[in-house]
Structure 1
Amino acid sequence: MKFKNPPVNSLSLEFLTELIISLEKLQNDKTFRGVVLTSDCPGVFSAGLDLMEMCGRNLAHYAEYWKAVQELWLQLYLSNLVLVAAINGASPAAGCLMSLSCDYRVLADNPKHVIGLNETLLGIVAPFWFKDTLVNTIGHRATERALQLGLLFSPAEALQVGMVDQVVPEDQVQSTALSVMAQWMAIPDHARQLTKTMMRKATVDHLIKQRDADIQNFVSFISRDSIQKSLQMYLKNLKQKKS
């Protein structure tokens, strides 16, 4: 499955909705056992949440948007399918979250292809379930440091800390992802799926219990004047960089 929402595969509401529906279809079609997630946009896997969806909109829109972000993670994190992330570009913030939600991560060896949950750099806080997903991958102390500093890891650093499983030359990302997929497919589905559920269900249940409260927290946080101003400044700076 190739993400194609140029220029940077940001997770707009429309893109999120399409992605969720596509994943549901694959999940429900028993002829599919695994999916490789990758990008069709050069140099970027996904830049994460679409700031345009969080800036200058009404409260109902913020709530709808955040519910879709939650839904995507729930679809990915407990999917019955084998999910392999073929990360062929930069993967900050929610782009990183998507790859962390997969079963295995292969990252292209390019210093520009940084990965991490860098929310604090934008003056926002990674939600608890982003944090839980990272803790489950790289451990508590490494997560604490990465989240507070908003670190973006180079491929070598990401491999060292355990954020990705393999770093390979750019032209080998797809072939490596497919050979990894074959290895995971060799395991009987029911045993693998039950094991995955055992490992991940508590993390998912934590969000499901708090889902409405998490939406309310997001809406009240994102609609604050100070947060809206800092997002507008960030978007303005981005536009200036482009021009």
Structure 2
Amino acid sequence: EPLLNFSTRMMAVRSYLGVKFGVSGLLSQLTSSTRHHGRPCVSPILTSQHRNTSSSSSKVKVDLDQNTGVAVMHMQSPPVNSLSLDFITELCISLEKLEMDKGCRGLIITSSQPKVFSAGLDILEMYGKSPERCGEFWKSVQELWLKLYSSNMVTIAAVNGSSPAGGCLMALTCDYRIMADNPGYSIGLNETQLGIVAPFWFKDTLMNTIGLRHSEMALQLGLLYKPQDALKVGLVDQVVPEDQVLPAAVKSVNKWLAVPEHARQITKSMMRKSTIDRLTSNREADIQNFVSFITRESIQKSLRGYMELLKQKKA
């Protein structure tokens, strides 16, 4: 079945990792008996691999400090970290490896691309594609959200550039958001401006962060907030000078890690469970709704117009 393609990719990667590190089935053995204070217990072989090298792929670079237990994930998919199927797959693989590593307790997500955190979902994944391909793409978007929103790690978004739409969603999944104080940057779920409707779990994530009234206005109007405005509504938690984003994120993650881990993890799970359950129990229906919506001729026309507008701006 076409919608299983993304799951098949992930299973293939898990098998590859099992062969490479000599731990067959390692990434699928997430039972309670293998956890220590909510963190998975990992083979010394895999842990050793992380100690010796930084993890890097073509689009994602991860540096894990074994002394602090904090990883920094650099998104490096030029030009603007658009969330394509391939990029999302690499992000999911990197997140899964970190989640499995008991030496990693905190994660800072940032961008290596100038002036942008992430431009959001790649429009090329939604324009002119078959329903099967659209379904596979949307399943990967769901998977990325689930991995981030349910992570046992402390997650900090170091937003060092603009972050519209899906980029904003990525930041919203984190426990804490720090944004560069640059009036040229913006953040928000602006889907309606493109003729697209943000799905219910985008809405739920935003509402959990900034409340009903601010969310109602932000989603209907497709608002993009400047850093100081984002701070006022609670979309980000801290605004700092551009060169202080990463240092501030490191300071913040250490504050969160000072809390007893087991208590923090259970509390996080308790706070987010109903939102997560709502997607997991409606996942296939959400995929079908997305495919049905995005493949409409009127929506494809809107996407085509937006792409032409982008081409004109580049010219």
Same fold (TM over 0.5): yes
Instruction: Please report the TM-score for the alignment, with normalisation by the length of structure 2.
Output: 0.77
- Which of 176, 184, 189 is the equivalent residue of 1:117? 189
The residue number in structure 2 matching 1:98 is 170
The residue number in structure 2 matching 1:135 is 207
- Which of 196, 212, 225 is the equivalent residue of 2:297? 225
1:195-216 CA deviation, whole Å, 9 max, x = no partner?
A: 0000001000000111000000
Structure 2 alignment gaps of length 5 or more: 1-72
1:52-111 CA deviation, whole Å, 9 max, x = no partner?
A: 000111110000000000000000001000000000000000100000000000000001
Kindly indicate whether residue 147 of structure 2 is the aligned counterpart of residue 72 of structure 1.
no
The residue number in structure 2 matching 1:197 is 269
The residue number in structure 2 matching 1:23 is 95
Q: Whose Rg is larger?
A: 2
The amino acid across from 1:146 in the alignment is A
The residue number in structure 2 matching 1:10 is 82
The amino acid across from 2:110 in the alignment is T
State how many pairs are aligned: 243
Instruction: Please report the TM-score for the alignment, with normalisation by the length of structure 1.
Output: 0.99
- Report the Cα distance in structure 2 between the residues aligned to 1:74 and 1:156, rounded to whole angstroms: 28
Structure 1 alignment gaps of length 5 or more: none
- Which of 257, 274, 278 is the equivalent residue of 1:206? 278
The residue number in structure 1 matching 2:241 is 169
Aligned with 1:96: secondary structure? helix
Aligned with 2:134: secondary structure? helix
Following superposition, the deviation at residue 239 of structure 1 comes to 1.1
The amino acid across from 2:267 in the alignment is T
Aligned with 2:162: secondary structure? strand
The amino acid across from 1:48 in the alignment is G
Aligned with 1:141: secondary structure? helix
- Report the Cα distance in structure 2 between the residues aligned to 1:115 and 1:233, rounded to whole angstroms: 22
Following superposition, the deviation at residue 233 of structure 1 comes to 1.2
Percent identity reads 65
The residue number in structure 2 matching 1:41 is 113
The amino acid across from 2:148 in the alignment is L
The residue number in structure 1 matching 2:134 is 62
Aligned with 1:36: secondary structure? strand
Greater relative contact order (CA < 8 Å, ≥ 6 in sequence) = 1
RMSD: 0.5
The residue number in structure 1 matching 2:253 is 181
Kindly indicate whether residue 154 of structure 2 is the aligned counterpart of residue 82 of structure 1.
yes
- Report the Cα distance in structure 2 between the residues aligned to 1:121 and 1:94, rounded to whole angstroms: 14
- Report the Cα distance in structure 1 between the residues aligned to 2:307 and 2:253, rounded to whole angstroms: 38
